[in-house]
Amino acid sequence: MIVVHVKENESIDKALKRFKKKFEKTGIMKELRARTYYEKPSVRRRNVRLRAIYRQAMIEKQNKG
């Protein structure tokens, strides 16, 4: 469970921002999205490989231009 201690005279916006940052770091939403449906291990590996190829192509394209 994520706990954010609010200091005295601290604005709610600032505390909420710290909460969001902690929440993002834990990776809860990423895991939740991954668990919404079953993905075969072979499909997962293929998707990881395709994403890596895409990223590499973007990096090469950026370095050329």
20 located within any domain: yes
Q: What mean pLDDT comes out for the span 55-63? A: 95
Domain assignment present for residue 39? The answer is: yes
pTM: 0.54
Is the predicted pLDDT of residue 65 greater than 80, yes or no?
Answer: no
Q: Is residue 42 part of a domain?
A: yes
Mean pLDDT on 28-37: 91
* Predicted pLDDT at 56: 97
- Show the tokens assigned to 18: 């710290």
Tally of domains in the chain: 1
Could you tell me if residue 34 is inside a domain?
A: yes
Q: Which domain holds residue 30?
A: 12-64
57, part of any domain: yes
Q: 56 vs 42, 43, 47, 61, CA distance in Å? A: 21, 20, 14, 9
What pLDDT does 40 receive? 95
Answer yes or no: is 1 within a domain: no
